[in-house]
Amino acid sequence: MKQSSRLFLAGSVLLAALGGCDATGDSIAQVNGKPVTQERFDAYLKFKRVPAQNPQWVQRELDDYLEREALAGQIEEQKLLPAEQVAVEVDEFRKQMLISRYFETFLQEKVTDDALRNYYAGHPEQFQVRRVHVAHILLRTNAGMSDAERQALLTRARDIYTRANGQVEFATLAKEVSEDQLSSQRGGDLGWLQEGAIDPAFSTKVFAMKAGELSEPLATPFGLHIVKVLEGPEVTKQPFESVSGDIRYRLRQEARQAELERLRGAAKIEKKEPAQSAKAEAAKDGDHAAG
């Protein structure tokens, strides 16, 4: 049987099993001699997200619900399917549903918007970042360059550095010689860069510089850079809106793990040793033989 068919059957049998359970409330129908209560059907409507204010929709769902109840009951009576296997699949479906629904509700109540803001206010150091506003001039390198070509490029970069340190405006020079097509149009301006979000060598260098300072040619995998710090470095606090998603994820993970450990600790599991299990089965067989 295909997985989808088995899941459909398991869901139908689960509904039939639930429909046969004792429940308070008025009976609205009988299926195969078993009552279906209003309370049970209301729970079904809630599960299917069917608005009770739409009588036509509710009636269609009732007809469908009763038909599947009837079919599931009749299929059970045919005894064509292995009852124990069906029961196991239904029980596994029930356990998975209970676990997922429980944690969905638990985490909604535990990790609220107030909890996010309290965490943000109580851990300001986690949301502080260093940033620096820089511009650069880039001379690109590639893996196929010879040593002589690299040396010639370094000589050219040093010449550009000398010009930038002299009377030539950095932005003008960047527009003229930088091979970074995007930033060169803005006079080499790279905007505000966050520490750790850029190449380590580049980051280490620029965050050790002061505003207005110019670096000698700096090598990265992209090429040779002459960098000018325009503003900073400075420490800023990330706004709550930009980090609330990360906080929510973290708090939910922590809350779920803590609740999972609590539930595991409260649960009682007793495993029998193989020898004990074998003896129990032997004793059971002996009782059947004696009977």
pLDDT band at 8 (very low <50, low <70, confident <90, very high): very low
Residues 233 and 136 both lie in one domain: yes
Residue 203 has pLDDT above 50, yes or no: yes
Give a yes or no: residue 143 inside a domain: yes
Q: Are residues 99 and 40 in the same domain?
A: yes
Give the residue-averaged pLDDT of 84-103.
95
Is residue 39 within 8 A of residue 99, CB to CB? The reply is no
Q: Do residues 183 and 146 both lie within one domain? A: yes
Q: Are residues 29 and 60 in the same domain?
A: yes
Confidence class for position 23, pLDDT limits 50, 70, 90: very low
Does residue 285 lie in a domain region? no
Tens-place pLDDT, residues 130-151: 999 999 999 999 989 999 999 9
Is residue 22's pLDDT more than 50? Answer: no
Largest CA distance in the chain: 110
Q: What is the pLDDT of residue 288?
A: 55
* Per-residue pLDDT at 286: 58
Question: Is pLDDT of 26 > 90?
Answer: no
Q: Which of 53, 49, 39, 236 is nearest to 133 (CA)?
A: 236
For the cut 60, the answer to whether the pLDDT of residue 1 exceeds it is no
Sorting pLDDT into bands at 50, 70 and 90, what band is 4?
Answer: very low
* pLDDT classification of 171: cutoffs 50, 70, 90: very high
- Residue 265: inside a domain: no
Alpha-carbon Rg for the chain in angstroms = 35
Preceding omega of 233 cis (within 30 degrees of 0): yes
Task: Say if residues 192 and 131 touch (Cβ distance below 8 Å).
Answer: yes
229 with 132, same domain: the answer is: yes
Same domain, 14 and 86: yes
The answer to whether 129 and 194 have CB atoms below 8 angstroms apart is yes
Residues 101 and 133 in one domain: no
Residue 105 and residue 134 share a domain:
no
Q: Report yes or no on 188 lying in a domain.
A: yes
Q: Answer with the one of 220, 237, 254 that is the final residue of a domain.
A: 237
Do 149 and 181 lie in a common domain?
A: yes
In a domain, 286, yes or no: no
Domain around 233: 128-237
102 and 168 housed in the same domain: no
pLDDT the model gives residue 206:
94
User: With 0-12 CB in 10 A as exposed, 13-18 as middle and 19+ as buried, what is 195?
Assistant: middle
Q: What is the mean pLDDT of the chain?
A: 88
**pLDDT of amino acid 281:** 63
d(CA 193, CA 262): 43
pLDDT in tens, 216-268: 999 999 999 999 999 989 999 999 999 999 999 999 999 999 999 999 999 99
Does any domain span residue 256? no
| Helix %, strand %, coil % of the chain (to 5) | 60, 15, 25
- Enter the tokens of residue 188: 């080499």
pTM: 0.61
Per the structure, the count of domains in the chain is 2
Is residue 261 assigned to a domain?
no
- CB distance 120 to 127 below 8 Å: yes
Q: Residue 232 sits in a domain of what CATH number? A: 3.10.50.40
**Same domain (yes/no): 99, 147:** no
d(CA 45, CA 85): 28
Q: Which two tokens stand for residue 7?
A: 């899941």
pLDDT > 80? residue 9: no
- Residue ending a domain, among 188, 205, 237, is 237
162 and 89: one domain?
Answer: no
Least confident of 15-29, 79-93, 153-167, 191-205: 15-29
Residue 22 domain flag: yes
pLDDT, residue 21, reads 42
From 135, 205, 139, 210, select the one nearest 170 (Cα to Cα).
135
Choose one of 191, 217, 237: the last residue of a domain: 237
